[in-house]
A = this chain, B = another copy of it.
Amino acid sequence: MSPRQFDVTDLVSRAAAGETRYIARLITLVESESEQLRELSALLAPRTGRAHVIGLTGSPGVGKSTTTSALVTEFRKRGKTVGVLAVDPSSPFSGGALLGDRIRMQEHSMDPGVFIRSMASRGHLGGLSWATPHAIRVLDAAGFDVILAETVGVGQSEIEVSQLADTSLVLLAPGMGDGIQAAKAGILEIGDIFCINKADRDGAEATRRELRNGLSMTARADSWKPPIEMTIATEGTGIDKIADHIADHKDHLDATGMLQARREERASREIQAIAVAEIMRGFDVSGGQLLAGLSDRVASGRLDPFTAADELRKTTDSM
Interface residues of A (CB under 8 A from B): 37-38, 41-42, 44-49, 90-91, 93-94, 123, 125-127, 133, 154-156, 180, 183-186, 260, 263-268, 270-272, 274-276, 278-280, 283, 291-292, 294-296, 298-310, 312-313, 316-317, 319
CA A185 to CA B278, docked complex, whole Å: 27
User: What residues of B have a CB within 8 angstroms of the CB of A154 in the complex?
Assistant: 154-155
User: What residues of B have a CB within 8 angstroms of the CB of A316 in the complex?
Assistant: 317
User: Is the beta-carbon distance between B271 and A91 smaller than 8 angstroms?
Assistant: no
User: What residues of B have a CB within 8 angstroms of the CB of A41 in the complex?
Assistant: 304-306
Decide yes or no: A184 and B90 within 8 Å by CB, A41-B304, A126-B156, A296-B264 being known contacts.
Answer: yes
User: Is the beta-carbon distance between B298 and A267 smaller than 8 angstroms?
Assistant: yes
Q: Please give 5 more A-B residue pairs, beta carbons under 8 A apart, in addition to A270-B298, A271-B298, A271-B308.
A: A42-B307, A91-B183, A133-B305, A268-B292, A275-B309
* Number of this chain's copies in the complex: 2
Decide yes or no: A91 and B184 within 8 Å by CB, A271-B309, A278-B313, A317-B317 being known contacts.
Answer: yes
User: Is the beta-carbon distance between A271 and B299 smaller than 8 angstroms?
Assistant: no
User: Is the beta-carbon distance between B156 and A267 smaller than 8 angstroms?
Assistant: no
User: What residues of B have a CB within 8 angstroms of the CB of A93 in the complex?
Assistant: 180, 183-184
Decide yes or no: A276 and B280 within 8 Å by CB, A45-B301, A126-B156 being known contacts.
Answer: yes
User: What residues of B have a CB within 8 angstroms of the CB of A307 in the complex?
Assistant: 42
User: What residues of B have a CB within 8 angstroms of the CB of A44 in the complex?
Assistant: 304
- With both beta carbons as reference points, the residue of chain B lying nearest to A276 in the complex is identified as B276
4 closest A-B pairs by CB = A126-B126, A267-B298, A274-B309, A263-B299
State the main secondary structure of chain A at its contact with B: helix
User: Is the beta-carbon distance between A305 and B127 smaller than 8 angstroms?
Assistant: no
User: What residues of B have a CB within 8 angstroms of the CB of A309 in the complex?
Assistant: 271-272, 274-275, 278
User: Is the beta-carbon distance between B91 and A305 smaller than 8 angstroms?
Assistant: no
User: What residues of B have a CB within 8 angstroms of the CB of A299 in the complex?
Assistant: 49, 260, 263-264, 266-267
The listed residue (B46, B271, B294, B295) touching A291 by CB distance below 8 A is B271
User: Is the beta-carbon distance between A271 and B294 smaller than 8 angstroms?
Assistant: yes
A13: min CB distance to chain B, Å: 17
The listed residue (B45, B283, B312) touching A302 by CB distance below 8 A is B45
Sample 20 A-B pairs with CB under 8 A, ordered by A number.
A41-B306, A42-B307, A45-B304, A47-B301, A48-B301, A49-B299, A49-B300, A91-B185, A155-B155, A264-B298, A267-B294, A268-B295, A270-B298, A271-B309, A272-B312, A275-B309, A278-B310, A278-B313, A279-B279, A316-B317
CA A296 to CA B257, docked complex, whole Å: 13
- With both beta carbons as reference points, the residue of chain B lying nearest to A50 in the complex is identified as B301
> By CB atoms of chain B within 10 A, which of A265, A279, A306 has the most?
A306
User: Is the beta-carbon distance between B276 and A184 smaller than 8 angstroms?
Assistant: no
User: Is the beta-carbon distance between A265 and B295 smaller than 8 angstroms?
Assistant: yes
User: Is the beta-carbon distance between B305 and A270 smaller than 8 angstroms?
Assistant: yes
Decide yes or no: A291 and B268 within 8 Å by CB, A91-B185, A184-B93, A279-B276 being known contacts.
Answer: yes
User: What residues of B have a CB within 8 angstroms of the CB of A125 in the complex?
Assistant: 125-126
